[in-house]
Structure 1
Amino acid sequence: MLLREYALEYVAQVLGGGAERGIAKEVIRFLEEKPNTKHITIQLVRQLTPGAERGELDRAIIKTLQVLAGEHLRLLDTRFELFDSENVPHDLTDDELSAAIELGINPLTGHEEVDIRSKILMYFAPEEGTNERLQGAVID
């Protein structure tokens, strides 16, 4: 069985065969068609998934992305970014993320910011080797 089919079966097993399986199928198809992608947001998944454009499936999208990024499949990596005053995104390390969330410190300026949490966004990126794994991996 190819990894693609295994991942879809696993998502259906863990989350059910409803919208989550369809969302996973669209995300995996996107990864296969765009092997150089580095940035997958909830908004992008909304655009990829029929019927999800207005946010009605956001909960299902988040659950699906979490399973695809989970220890069992490891197709995606969960990452966080912070936008600076010029709206340029900056990836955050785990330490920077912790300082921002726990202490309210902006890692770009080193200054305390009351609303720093609202400026941090989550996104997903393919784990290293995901594209190769999707292209040819066979799972027994």
Structure 2
Amino acid sequence: IKSCVFHYELEFIHPFTDGNGRMGRLWQTIILKEKYPIFESIPLETIIRDTQSDYYQALSLSDKSGKSTPFIEYMLRVIDTSLAQLLNYTNRILKDTDRLDYFLLLTIKEFNRKIYMGVFKDISTATASRDLKLGVKLGVFEKEGDKTKTIYRVKR
């Protein structure tokens, strides 16, 4: 709620000739991620852009009433929607190529199947082996060794 109030108050005093909304949203994100680091990767901006008329209506209602409550309620709905989208995304079933794409984002350059399975804790040994075989086939990984001694390297 503190981040919502700060965002609204910055909009209300309107200290800049341009960019007050962007600054309000930036500071709200900074305040949120200070307490809850997950907010660094939650796209509040996207939800606000998609509901821009509601955003301006909430600002207007708050200005007219002299209370930030309508804006706070709007922003809490935005936060709730953003968190729900994050949960939907993280709970979806990843395809093999999704896992490979994600694994490439990590800084692991050399690994074995056990390390790969440590990243994707909910997959079976057979699924990990299929993923790694596909990674080699697609030219994403180089394979060295055999069976339990196999080492994979990310090709860059």
Question: Which bracket does the TM-score occupy, shorter chain normalised?
Answer: under 0.3
The structure in which a higher percent of residues are strand is 1
Please report the TM-score for the alignment, with normalisation by the length of structure 1. Answer: 0.28
The one of the two structures with greater contact order (alpha-carbon pairs below 8 A, sep at least 6) is 1
Larger Cα-atom Rg: 2
The structure in which a higher percent of residues are helix is 2
Please report the TM-score for the alignment, with normalisation by the length of structure 2. Answer: 0.26
